[in-house]
Amino acid sequence: MENKRKNKDFNPNNCPVTHFYNKAGGKWKTVILYGVSKQVNRFSMLQKAIPTISKQMLVNQLRELEEDRIIEKITYAEIPPRVEYKLTEYGESFLPIIMVIQDWGLKDMGLQSIEKL
């Protein structure tokens, strides 16, 4: 059974902010995108970097990001198979927004920088 997202295309007032949140909103997607942009690009690496996300939630979020063509899943023909994620060109267009969010968070928390993901 295919899992349909309730808010994927819900934007009755054609609001650009709602459109953004439909693509990258929620608790995890921006964190996942940031991680993938920093070469935390394998499922196990993302699990370690985001220890409070459940395995099923990570699977679901990665699928949605892939479905929206924000990330690309690359499967290498090896034994055992190796899977990596990378940002698409479209996905890279989210990075300036994520960096602004990061800068705001650093200032609001009174920090100069953050430790590496």
| Residues 4, 1: Cα–Cα separation, whole Å | 9
Question: Model confidence at 111, in pLDDT bands (50, 70, 90)?
Answer: confident
Kindly report, residue by residue over 18-77, the tens digit of the pLDDT. 889 888 988 999 999 999 999 999 999 999 999 999 999 999 999 999 999 999 999 999
Query: What domain count does the chain have?
Result: 1
DSSP annotation of 6:
S
Q: Would you say residue 102 lies in a domain?
A: yes
Q: Would you say residue 9 lies in a domain?
A: no
The Cα angle at residue 46 between residues 44 and 51, in degrees rounded to 5? 95
Q: Tell me how far apart the terminal alpha carbons of the chain are, to the nearest angstrom.
A: 34
| Residues 21, 13: Cα–Cα separation, whole Å | 14
Which residues, 6 or more positions from 104, have their beta carbon under 8 angstroms from its beta carbon? none
Residue 20: CATH number of its domain:
1.10.10.10
